[in-house]
Structure 1
Amino acid sequence: MKITIIGTGYVGLVTGTCFAEMGNKVYCVDNDLEKIANLKENIIPIYEPNLETLVKSNQNKGDLIFTTNLKDALDNSNIIFIAVGTPASDDGSVNLDYVYNVALEIAENITNDSLIVIKSTVPVGTAFKVKEIIESNLDEDIKIDIASNPEFLKEGVAINDCMHPDRVIIGAENEMVFDTLKELYSSFIVNNDRFILMDVRSAEMSKYVANALLATKISFMNEIANICEKTGANVKNVRLGIGSDKRIGYDFIYAGCGYGGSCFPKDVKGLINTAMDNGYVPKILSYVDEVNENQKLVLVNKIIDRFGEDLSGLTFSIWGLSFKPQTDDVRCAPSLKIASEIIKRGGKIKAYDPKAIDNFKLNFDLDNITYKKSKYDVLDDSDALILITEWKEFRALDLDELSKRLNQKIIFDGRNIYSPKIRELGFELYQIGC
């Protein structure tokens, strides 16, 4: 098939590359001249395992084309994916300016009957608004269909998620659209039972509900961790006790220092806003968001309990800046809040992350923070280690190296990955809920 993907952000770039890998002709369109020029040279704007390799190979085959020329792309395709950003506004509502601007550009440049597929995460009713904008601005008698095809890509394993989806949700108005998209995804799916077909509005809602429910599990378990600390229970044991129940499962019930990223915070707020706009007050969702923001301060509070409110003269080493392992994304990352609070109290920070340092610098321009190129160099002359992101390279500790480099043998473990047995070797270990 011949496909146009509008937007070369995380979703658009991964999706377009995977479609090309399966033999489709894919035009990835963006109005960012520098980004497109870099992509043509196989310079990838995000870190995602195996993405660079696939981009390069499919460009070489001619199946993946990066361009700023929307008209040329539309002239050569009849399936158009909208995959532009939908950032949160200051009030928590979803900013749809990019989506609606793309709809106008499609109307101005389209020359063939086409299927418009909304891949961006958008509130209920957006797809029909996009269809209305396009149809009301078409100069010719061109027929368009509209569909919602939400993405469920997890950063760090996005290529695998795209190539081997656990489900493909398609929201459409007629059988022909269902059949077209099922054919497109047939290369990824062997069993038809992974296709979930529904109306457009339900498909739009499904994306928000999925992320909101996962965020709810995280915030719920973080609250349980805080209760465990008050009562003397161990949240890691509690997780084992409840996760064995197949109705609950083990995923997303790890206690920690809060979730971040571009999806969960934005989508929880977006669903809250949608509910409020429709006259409903979503109490659970509102509290999920509040608990998560408070959870980002848990490690800070532990640091204050140990060292006092005034952190002047103290240096803290941070391991992990990205919001999760296997990505360079620091949007809404707990590290941003933790670092700010430490510096606000007079402390200094040395930080290391395998991939996210450059992005962290773009989002964090305060003084009193330096960056190192290795996990052990960052420890020199520091008073404590703070583990925020559980990259694999942080899991096995060289305790002799820590003892030599740290001024004090103190570890704040924000993901509960270290064994309490290290306390027997003279380390102070502070964890969450245990």
Structure 2
Amino acid sequence: MNILIIGTGYVGATTAMVFAESGWQVTGLDVDARKIEQLKQGRLHFHEPGLEALIDKHVRSGRLLFTTDKESAIAGHDVIFICVGTPSRPDGSADLRYIQQVAEDIGCSMNGYKLVVTKSTVPVGTQEQVTTWIRAAQRQPHPFDVASNPEFLREGKAVEDALHPDRIVIGTDSAKAKEQLLTLYQSFQCPRIVTTSRTAELIKYASNAFLATKISYMNELAKLCDVVNVNVNEVAQGMGLDPRIGPSFLQAGLGYGGSCFPKDVSELVMTAKEQEVHLRILEQVMEVNATQYAYLLDKARTRLGDFANKNIAILGLAFKPDTDDIREAPALRMIHDLLLEQANVKLFDPVATLPAQPSYEAVTVCSLAEEALHDADAVILCTEWTAFGQLDWTNLKSLLRQLNFFDGRNMMDAQVMRGLGFYYRGIGNEH
């Protein structure tokens, strides 16, 4: 089977790589000619450790091709994966305009049986909509199936997750589609769940919403830990040893961000409201996450008195390490509030960059951490890049005007930092 991947962003590029690595012939299709030209040269247009080398490997071997010619690409492939974005609308619901456009393109260019697989994260019931859109756009009636095959990739760990998935979920009521998808994934050693398309779609949202709930739960608990003189990291360690809970996503900090958790939780809440169901726990998860950054900012404000004319060094912009993704990054909210309060903000991130917007023109973007730290009244760590833990704080502290360190990821050793003379505050580790 030859595979067509429509959309060459984070999900599409990774999906194309993993099928090529599994031995299939793969073509990536995108309307963005600039991205396609880069990919044809084996270069990635976003940061994801290890992915570019594998893309380049399969481009060189000829197993992975890229094109902007949608009519020929759709006509020439029998298995088509939809991997385009589903951003949030202002009300929190998923915007399916790109899914609909792709479905209509497939219908227009269809020349025989096609298996269309939605890998994009989509609301419950989207498979039926895709079927309707394709059928309405057909110039001639051709048979096709639409299946759901959600992705479970972590940014920064996408290669590992794609090559060694913990499960594969297939949603379809077609025996033919089921057989083809199981064949595509035959080399993977992990559980395979074959269910209805609606169930597959909900599994994706439910998974991300549950992980987001763990994060917000620990962030709420961290506030209590600060008051009762308990270290939240030790609490998390003790909790995580229970196999029913597990250690993942129990780290208190500034909250979650990125392209998945914020929009997926929001969309699940909106889907429920449309059915007149209130997911009250998830509504609170969203509220906790939206305000969590302010908890650390309040600690800094209390220490400094106010931020007016204070030099604030922000370490880390990306919502998590090993990615350049700044969507819904807590650091952006932090910077916004600091600028409103007339702070002088310097920023350093090893990979991520600020968007070119007038609201960020006052931020001094530094090429080295040392530049950001120079003459700082306070350091606020927003992303737990490994490089920040490897900095020589014994020597770097001489660059600062005041030794105030606010750790939004509880990355540093509190005792070590205080031993160096820093006024150190994290989240849930006050003692």
Q: What TM-score range do you get, normalising by the shorter chain?
A: over 0.9
In the TM superposition, residue 368 of structure 1 has moved relative to its aligned partner by 2.6
- 1:299 and 1:338 in contact (8 A); partners too: no
Cross-structure match for 2:422: 427
Aligned to 1:237, which of 221, 224, 234? 234
Cross-structure match for 1:380: 374
Cross-structure match for 1:414: 408
Cross-structure match for 1:398: 392
In the TM superposition, residue 108 of structure 1 has moved relative to its aligned partner by 0.6
- 1:336 and 1:364 in contact (8 A); partners too: no
Q: Equivalent residues in 2 for 1:327-346 (5 A)?
A: 327-346=323-342
- 1:376 and 1:401 in contact (8 A); partners too: no
CA distance in 1, matches of 2:253, 2:281: 20
- 1:260 and 1:331 in contact (8 A); partners too: yes
Cross-structure match for 2:189: 190
For these two proteins, the number of residue pairs brought into alignment is 428
Letter matched to residue 410 of structure 1? N
Residue 361 of structure 1 aligns to a residue whose secondary structure is coil
In the TM superposition, residue 420 of structure 1 has moved relative to its aligned partner by 2.1
Give per-residue Cα distances to partners, 1:119-160, cap 9 Å, x unaligned.
010001101110111123222231101100000000001011
Cross-structure match for 2:243: 246
Residue 362 of structure 1 aligns to a residue whose secondary structure is coil
In the TM superposition, residue 34 of structure 1 has moved relative to its aligned partner by 1.9
Aligned to 1:292, which of 253, 271, 289? 289
In the TM superposition, residue 30 of structure 1 has moved relative to its aligned partner by 0.9
Q: Equivalent residues in 2 for 1:221-370 (5 A)?
A: 221-309=218-306, 311-357=307-353, 360-362=354-356, 365-370=359-364
More displaced stretch, 69-78 vs 204-213:
69-78
CA distance in 2, matches of 1:281, 1:180: 38
In the TM superposition, residue 84 of structure 1 has moved relative to its aligned partner by 0.6
In the TM superposition, residue 35 of structure 1 has moved relative to its aligned partner by 1.8
CA distance in 2, matches of 1:176, 1:49: 36
Measured at CA, do residues 247 and 364 of structure 1 come closer, stay the same or move farther in structure 2, by a change above 3 Å?
farther
In the TM superposition, residue 99 of structure 1 has moved relative to its aligned partner by 0.4
Cross-structure match for 1:115: 115
CA distance in 2, matches of 1:39, 1:362: 24
- 2:14 and 2:51 in contact (8 A); partners too: yes
CA distance in 2, matches of 1:83, 1:270: 18
- 1:402 and 1:409 in contact (8 A); partners too: no
Residue 313 of structure 2 aligns to a residue whose secondary structure is strand
Letter matched to residue 86 of structure 1? T
- 1:351 and 1:372 in contact (8 A); partners too: yes
- 1:146 and 1:173 in contact (8 A); partners too: no
Residue 339 of structure 2 aligns to a residue whose secondary structure is helix
In the TM superposition, residue 397 of structure 1 has moved relative to its aligned partner by 4.0
Cross-structure match for 2:9: 9
TM-score (norm 2): 0.97
Letter matched to residue 229 of structure 2? G
- 1:347 and 1:368 in contact (8 A); partners too: no
- 2:42 and 2:57 in contact (8 A); partners too: no
CA distance in 1, matches of 2:270, 2:18: 33
Cross-structure match for 1:37: 37
Letter matched to residue 426 of structure 2? Q
In the TM superposition, residue 364 of structure 1 has moved relative to its aligned partner by 7.2
Letter matched to residue 331 of structure 2? S
More displaced stretch, 279-288 vs 362-371:
362-371
TM-score (norm 1): 0.96
- 2:105 and 2:137 in contact (8 A); partners too: no
In the TM superposition, residue 300 of structure 1 has moved relative to its aligned partner by 1.2
CA distance in 1, matches of 2:281, 2:358: 31
Residue 360 of structure 2 aligns to a residue whose secondary structure is coil
In the TM superposition, residue 399 of structure 1 has moved relative to its aligned partner by 2.3
In the TM superposition, residue 186 of structure 1 has moved relative to its aligned partner by 1.6
Q: Equivalent residues in 2 for 1:87-236 (5 A)?
A: 87-187=87-187, 189-190=188-189, 194-236=191-233
CA distance in 2, matches of 1:92, 1:14: 26
Identity between Structure 1 and Structure 2 (%)? 43
More displaced stretch, 117-126 vs 24-33:
24-33
- 1:212 and 1:285 in contact (8 A); partners too: yes
Residue 150 of structure 2 aligns to a residue whose secondary structure is coil
Give per-residue Cα distances to partners, 1:323-348, cap 9 Å, x unaligned.
00000000000000001111111101
CA distance in 1, matches of 2:235, 2:125: 41
In the TM superposition, residue 29 of structure 1 has moved relative to its aligned partner by 0.7
Measured at CA, do residues 234 and 190 of structure 1 come closer, stay the same or move farther in structure 2, by a change above 3 Å?
closer
CA distance in 2, matches of 1:147, 1:298: 43
In the TM superposition, residue 190 of structure 1 has moved relative to its aligned partner by 2.8
CA distance in 2, matches of 1:218, 1:257: 9
Letter matched to residue 41 of structure 1? Q
- 1:243 and 1:249 in contact (8 A); partners too: yes
Residue 133 of structure 1 aligns to a residue whose secondary structure is helix
